[in-house]
Amino acid sequence: MPNITIDGPKLNDLDLKRTVIKEITDSIEKAYNIPRDHIVVIFRAQSPEDVGIAGKLLLDMKSQKP
């Protein structure tokens, strides 16, 4: 049973989440040739203050952009 985890910013739009889950499920079903009810997709939301890139918090990097 494939488990797909998406780590990223929170998606507040439920229709967008539905679309992302459907498209990922469609792709995995086709690639692995397994039933879609065996495919699990999980969103794990990360806040900008919980992510670091290049030694800096993402929150700080956003505030420094012009």
Q: 10 — alpha (psi -120 to 50), left (phi > 0) or beta? A: beta
The 8-class DSSP code of residue 24 comes to H
Q: Mean pLDDT throughout 23-41?
A: 97
Residue 48 pLDDT > 70, yes or no?
yes
User: What pLDDT does 4 receive?
Assistant: 97
The Cα 16–Cα 40 span in angstroms is 17
CATH code: domain of residue 16: 3.30.429.10
- Give the range of the structural domain holding residue 11, as residue numbers without chain letter: 3-64
User: What pLDDT does 65 receive?
Assistant: 65
Total domains, the chain: 1
CA angle 11, 18, 25 (to 5 degrees): 115
